[in-house]
Copies of this chain bind each other. A is one copy, B any other.
Amino acid sequence: MQRIYVIAAGGTIEKVYSEQTGAVQNLDSKIDRYFRLLRLPDADIQVTHLMNKDSLEMTDADRAEVRDRVAEILPEGAPIVISHGTDTMVDTGRYLEQAFPNLKAPIILTGAMTPLGFEGSDGLQNLTESLIVARLLAPGVYVVMHGQVIPIDRARKDKDKATLVWK
C-alpha cells in the first residue's frame, strides 16, 4: 500500500457554479468526490483541504501555509500532490523547491483549466496522471497535467494554449 498525500489548495479545478450569482467560485471542495471515481486499490490517499482559493488571490501567508503542511509530511518520505490554481502554480512550486532543497520524494503541482464536473474538464485527467506518476518520479518539484511532466524550473503557463508548457 503506497501512501500519497494530497494538499487541496483550490484553483479552477475546485470551482463550482453558483446558481445564485451565475459565477464560478471556490466555495465547497469537491476534489474528494472525484477521487472516489478512481480505482486505486494499493494507494492510501490522504487529503488535506488546506484552502480553497483562486490562485491569483494566494498571498505569501498562504504559500507559507502550504510550505508548513509540506514540512509536516516530508519526514514520512511519501509523495505529495498539490492541487492548485494554474496561474500561480509555478510560483508556489519554486517557493517549495527553495524551501526544501533536499527532497526525498516528489512534490507534484496539478490543477485544471476547466473545473471538475464541467463538460470538457481536464481535472480528473490531471488528478489521475498526478497520482500515478507520484510513484515513479525522482525527488523534486514538478508540474503534472495534460500528459506532461515538467520540472518546476522549466514550467510556465501559456494562456493562449490553455496549458502549462516547457520553457
Contact = CB atoms under 8 A, between A and B. Distances in A.
Interface of A: 12, 15, 17, 19-20, 22-24, 37-43, 54, 113-120, 122, 125, 128-129, 131-133, 135-137, 144, 146-149, 159, 161-163, 165-166
A132 B131 CA distance: 11
Contact of A39 (B40, B115, B119, B147): B147
Copies held by the complex: 4
A17 B118 contact: yes
A133 B131 CA distance: 11
| Chain A at the B interface: SS class | loop
A158 to B, nearest CB: 9
Contact of A119 (B54, B117, B132): B117
Contacts of A115: 17
B113 A19 contact: yes
Contact of A114 (B19, B114, B116, B131): B19
B42 A147 contact: yes
Nearest to A131: B147
Contacts of A163: 39, 41
Given A41-B161, A125-B38, A129-B128, A12 B20 contact: no
Nearest to A158: B41
